[in-house]
Amino acid sequence: MLTTLAIRDVVLIEALDLEFGPGLGTLTGETGAGKSILLDALGLALGVRADSGLVRNGAAQAMVSAGFDLGADHPAFALLSENGLEFEPGEALVIRRIVKADGGSRAFINDQPASAATLRELGGMLVEIHGQHDDRGLINPRGHRALLDAFGRLDVAAVAAAHADWRAAQEALETARTDLENAARDREWLDHAVEELTRFAPEPGEEAMLAAERSDMQKGARLADDIEAVNAHLEGSEGGLAALRQAARRLDRIAPEHPLLGQALEALDRAVIEASEAEDRLAAAAEAMRFDPARLETAETRLFELRALARKHRVDPDNLAALRDELSSRLDRIEAGDAGIAKLEQDARFARQAYEKSAEMLSNARRAAAQRLDLAVAAELAPLKLDAARFRTLVETLPESGWSPAGRDRIEFEISTNPGAPFAPLIKIASGGELSRFILALKVALAEQGSATTMIFDEIDRGVGGAVADAIGERLKRLSKDAQLLVVTHSPQVAARGASHWLIAKSHDGLVTRTGVRPLDSAERQEEIARMLSGAEITAEARAQAMRLLEAA
């Protein structure tokens, strides 16, 4: 709901601060008083294209600020979140727009900079403005399908899910076909590559193992003499290890004679153990690095072939085994390709049939809802002096290229304003006054299906009076039970229906002309409605008639 509107330096409005409440609010004033300026200012806040011509003469910039009170689940908050704008759930939403006299504009949402595009999208969620030249909202066919679905309480979730399943099945089929075609073109290369890799039988980690083995044998050839010399000092009856063991045996016989001899024996035993371990390690190292020309040649050949194969296939040597498995799988898919494609084709066919069935059920439900909507709108036309007009909801099946998660239908509201005249879109056939009344009839029929919490009707009663104006007022009053309505009107019958009433008027101080807006109390309201009834001279009868209208409302 729109709660506040602050305007600074917009055309003839120097400074204006308004507060709004729920229900039906009416704005009246003499022709030329500046009602259009008020709507232009609000439109600026809602993202309408900025025009420097709106800046009051002599001012550097114009500013409009609009405050809204929204429910915590209002879709506007999701839009703010998507655009990275911070907000506190339940807090007031304030939109501010500044237009400079030399061109350019800035927009703010809760004091955070925002783009004009974001402002326009947000504005469409907050306020519906219905005027004689309105080409949005109910006039735009792009929104008619959603309105019909909401009117009929139709759930499109099942169709959307079926469409997603169908697209997924179709994409899987197309991917498989592409893979199969690509694989078939590479069949000869695949056969050769798999045979080569299988024959070579690479293993993960093999390169490092071969490189280490080659390095060890090369070191062994270089260190063989040193290892043999060290062995000579340790091995045999004359070697160092034998001497240590002989010394240990002799010391063992005399060790009980003194504690130090016992300690010496313990140290000597450790030396024998360590020397034995050194002898074993030396033998193992000699074996590991044993130079075998044939074995070295075999390791080097395997290593070089492994690396060459990896370069050929542009992979790491450790990934050759995985590549072999992958290429083998591609060959297997070629072999089983026809059967796999047939299964995917069947899945896609069944998924399409499921979507078509679900979409057809939705189409039938839409046609039934369209008939109910047509009857509901038709019931509103005669009281609004549209007796000769006919309304219909066109439900047309789209070609397959137009099928979507929302179904297979194109929905558009059409009218015929004269007997025998063909149906045509609202915007192309209705005059200004007729268009506004058609919108009102639609809004009444659709009841709570609009997304915006505030609706503004600009001179919806132009060119009508008496019973028709009263019918318009009654319907506006009915709509205002579930939404906030602001109506710019010249009709006393409509003005009397409002829960609140503002007067728009010009004033002159001899130099400057200004437009002002002020709320009317009960007495002032009676006087304004009397003026609307009688013209320049307000009569007692006009005041009495104004009172009767207010009491009847």
What's the CA gap between 293 and 409, in Å, rounded?
A: 82
514 within some domain: no
Torsion of CA 329, 332, 338, 344, to 10 degrees: -30
**Residue 283 located in a structural domain:** yes
Q: What is the pLDDT of residue 135?
A: 45
Which pLDDT does position 6 carry in this prediction? 95
422 found inside a domain: no
How many degrees, rounded to 5, is the angle at CA 81 between CA 78 and CA 85?
135
pTM (predicted TM-score): 0.62
Cα three-residue angle 494-67-56, rounded to 5 degrees: 80
Quote the distance between the C-alpha of residue 421 and its chain's center. 43
User: In this structure, is residue 192 part of a structural domain?
Assistant: yes
How many domains does the chain contain in total?
A: 1
Domain membership of residue 110 (yes or no) is no
- pLDDT (0 to 100) of residue 131: 62
pLDDT of residue 18: 92
Tokens of 191: 């056969």
Residues of the chain with pLDDT under 70: 131-137, 218-234, 236-240, 285-292, 336, 338, 429-433, 447-452
Specify the pLDDT at position 461: 78
Report pLDDT for 406. Answer: 95
The Cα–Cα gap between 464 and 432 comes to 12
Structure confidence at residue 294 (pLDDT): 77
7 phi, psi to nearest 5 deg? -125, 135
Q: Is 249 part of a structural domain of the chain?
A: yes
331: domain range?
Answer: 187-337
* DSSP-assigned letter for residue 4: E
| DSSP-assigned states of every residue in 258-326 | -HHHHHHHHHHHHHHHHHHHHHHHHHHHHHHT---HHHHHHHHHHHHHHHHHHHHHTS-GGGHHHHHHH
pLDDT at 451: 52
Residue 222 lies in a domain: yes
Q: What is the DSSP letter of 338?
A: H
Residue 136 lies in a domain: no
